[in-house]
Amino acid sequence: MNVRLPDRYRPIRVLGHGATAEVVLAHDEALDRDVAVKLLAEGFRGDPSVPARFAREAVLAARLGRHPHVVTIHDAGEWDGRPFIVMDFLPGGSVDDRLAAGGFTRAQALQWLGDTADAIDAAHAAGVVHRDLKPANLLLDEDDRVHVADFGIARALDEAQKRLTWTGTILGTAGYLSPEQARGEVATPSSDRYTLAVVAHELLHGVRPDGRAVGRVFDRALSADPERRFPTAAAFVDALEHTAAPTAVVRRQTPPDPTAILRRHRATERARRFGRRTAALAIAAAVASFLALAFGYVSAAEPAVVTCTVSPTDHDANLVVSGVGANDYCSNRAQDLTWRIRQGFSLRSPDLHEQLTLVCSARTRGLRIAVYDDGGRRIGHVLCGSFTGDQLASSGA
């Protein structure tokens, strides 16, 4: 095996090859344990964007700390001109391997989905969108529990201005893309939840969805409208668990052509048009996408859309408004509530250990409105109570 690693890591065998990297099983001589070392593929050294994404994988995964369902990163660096990441070695293979072999039960599939949902929601709470969830990135330990891997094309929500790709570039795996990703638009937490629904459909029915919804749960989870989908990944899996279904063994059917998913969303041609646009339009799209709301997006085709937030003291409960005329709405609500108004989307918490959560979202007069609270007060629930049932889109209460 002709693989060069830092002296600390003794290579054992190649575990697999991906589009931009290879993974090697190695023994960490310093700590006397086996690890998986991910190395950038030789052919990508000349493309500066790929090593940059590769390096970000370690940073974004490390941001999630020691989450039980995220692959733990132990080390990262560059050796012999090739970036590398050292992570846990998970001997159970991947969920994709199990799909290929078949023979698992619905209960097992729901456990994997629950583990994945837990990791996804934690990533979103930490401000990270994965953007490439698929069975091959769901690795299994010796107890058959999932650990989410490959944050190589993930995006940090609070670093939208520093993204490594322009809006209009399609990143992800065909067949698992959300409609907005297939159109080259900004991926959001809702995009990850759509992709999880595709994975769930494949696990529970043996095939990815082909445009025909299988029951109400998948009809909502696979909605083309991001705001209609479940508010969290855990809520989606919980709905699946409460859906009556047989406990038969699941086997993968012949997978559909991945491009059929793109055609279903009528996205291929639009994505090509994005790619042919001038640099000026790409920059304009990137600026517009910076206004993206959590659990939503702002299209470059809506230049008049703006985002503003209203809160009592720059923290705790936040009213986030996006749309044409959002500033007027925020100004009026700030005056009514004697709160403060800010331009742009920014959530802040009075305690770094607390996470702001979505209480509800609504639509009124063409505006998208989201209410966040740290859970310690009932301000968010009071705000949500000011909307009618027809205006409310979802609730995290």
> Torsions phi, psi of 4, nearest 5?
-100, 125
Distances (CA, A) of 218 to 162, 206, 209: 34, 14, 9
- Which listed residue (132, 192, 316, 374) is catalytic? 132
> Torsions phi, psi of 163, nearest 5?
-60, 150
Question: How far is Cα 104 from Cα 250, in angstroms, rounded to an integer?
Answer: 6
Question: How far is Cα 339 from Cα 317, in angstroms, rounded to an integer?
Answer: 11
Could you tell me which residues come within 8 angstroms of residue 185 by beta carbon, excluding any fewer than 6 positions away? Answer: 167, 289, 297, 299
Task: Return the axis-axis angle of helices 189-205 and 233-241, rounded to nearest 10°.
Answer: 30
- Show the tokens assigned to 201: 């459909």
Give catalytic status of residue 7 as yes or no: no
Our CA angle for 280, 285, 288, nearest 5°, is 130
Which stretches within 277-352 are classed as H helix? 279-289, 326-337
How many residues are listed for the chain in this entry? 397
Catalytic residues: 132
